[in-house]
Amino acid sequence: MPHLTLEYSANLSDTLDPPALLAGINAELAASGHFAEPDIKSRATRLDDYLIGLHNNGRGFVHVRLAILSGRTPEVKKELSAAVLAALQAGVPAVDGMAIQLSAEIVDLDRPSYAKVVK
């Protein structure tokens, strides 16, 4: 915990560097003081099948879902969302003629039912 899932539209594949973007987000999360660095697990998924509004012409997106154990305050969740969004803004390059939507959401993992083992 936490688990971070980054999804991006395939039309950004030529300009986006997912490993670097994940590294930047993980660094922000580690710096937040809310997580131990080795506990941050992230992955990126390129979406080949997507639709933005009614067409994809000149449109792209990057969305991050950060799943954290329940019990954090709304203020902490807002802080984490802002940190993720700042890392996205820094790590997603602009593309001429394309509007790229960047978004982040924080979701709760049910603390009593979450299980983890480190081997």
pLDDT number for residue 44:
98
List 59's β-bridge partners, or say none. 99
Residue 25, pLDDT > 90, answer yes
In a domain, 119, yes or no: no
Would you say residue 57 lies in a domain?
Answer: yes
User: Is 118 within the bounds of a domain?
Assistant: no
Q: How many angstroms separate the CA atoms of 29 and 41, rounded?
A: 11
Q: Is 36 among the domain residues?
A: yes
In a domain, 51, yes or no: yes
Asked if residue 88 is part of any domain, the answer here is: yes
Q: 36-95 pLDDT, tens per residue?
A: 999 999 999 999 999 999 999 999 999 999 999 999 999 999 999 999 999 999 999 999
Pairing of strands 99-109, 59-69: parallel
**Are 81 and 104 within 8 A, CB to CB?**
yes
pLDDT of residue 20: 97
Burial 45-80 (b: 16+ CB within 10 A, else e): eeeeeeebeeeeeebbbbbbebbbeeeeeeeebebb
Query: Considering its fold, how many domains does the chain have in total?
Result: 1
pTM of the predicted model as reported, rounded to 2 decimal places: 0.93
- Distances in Å between the Cα of 25 and the Cα atoms of 6, 33, 108 are 10, 13, 18
Q: Tell me, what CATH number does 51's domain have?
A: 3.30.429.10
Residue that has been written with the tokens 């991006």 in this structure: 8
